[in-house]
């Protein structure tokens, strides 16, 4: 059996990129579950070429988030935000910030819109809960860490860890409970 090189999820890793005049060597990660590796989830590093060099820091739609180094993430985020968003940590229940009744929610790392205010509900779990994300704003992956089988939710733009989604909210329109770390979210201020 040939084993492909893998990278454990417990380490934050951003590959360095090589530039030339027309192409940028970019990297993507594919998260896969492989039962031959002690029943853990791994990232497989893949390379591809992109002809776009629009990496403006002030616009998350053109920013190449795979180029952000570990040190740059530490400068952008507080230690607690870094631990949760980049190291896949979890804040303790009932300790996160309390959110206002108005204003949509953005990823703390890249400021992408993640959840609408109308999707928020009180679940009693100790973390902010939502019944659906903005379409295309999150990616879901199998998470078998800590002896549990869960579905991890990450930002589709920058891959910041947000929390997990569970199928245990039958009173909500989707039946889903997106259980999200408060430290992974910024709430927009309503325009009044």
Q: Which two tokens stand for residue 122?
A: 């009180």
3-state secondary structure the chain: CCCCCCEECCCCCCCCCCECCCCEEEEEEEEEEECCCCCEEEEEEEEEEECCCCCCCCCCCCCCHHHCCHHHHHHHCCHHHHHHHHHCCCCCCCCCCCCCCCCCEEECCCCCEEECHHHEECCCCCCCEECCCCCCCEEEEEECHHHCCEEEEEECCCCCEEEEEECCCCCCCCCCEEEECHHHEEECCCCC
Which residue out of 107, 110, 158, 179 is catalytically annotated?
A: 179
Q: Is 179 tagged catalytic?
A: yes
Instruction: Catalogue the active-site residues.
Output: 179
């Amino acid at each position: 059996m040939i084993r492909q090189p893998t990278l454990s999820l417990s380490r934050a890793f951003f590959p360095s990129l090589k530039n030339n005049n027309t192409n940028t060597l970019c990297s993507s990660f594919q998260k896969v579950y492989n039962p031959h590796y002690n029943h853990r989830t791994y990232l497989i590093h893949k390379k591809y070429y992109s002809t776009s060099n629009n990496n403006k820091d002030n616009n998350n739609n053109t920013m190449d988030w795979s180029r952000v180094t570990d040190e740059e993430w530490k400068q952008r985020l507080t230690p607690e935000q870094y631990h949760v968003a980049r190291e896949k940590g979890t804040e303790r229940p009932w300790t996160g910030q309390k959110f206002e009744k108005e204003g949509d929610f953005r990823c703390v790392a890249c400021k992408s819109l993640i959840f609408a205010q109308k999707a928020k509900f009180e679940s009693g779990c100790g973390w902010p809960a939502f019944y659906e994300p903005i379409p295309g704003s999150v990616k879901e992956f199998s998470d078998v860490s800590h002896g549990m089988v869960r579905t991890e939710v990450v930002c589709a733009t920058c891959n910041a860890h947000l929390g997990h989604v569970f199928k245990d909210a039958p009173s909500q329109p989707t039946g889903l409970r997106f259980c999200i770390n408060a430290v992974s979210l910024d709430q927009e201020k309503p325009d009044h």
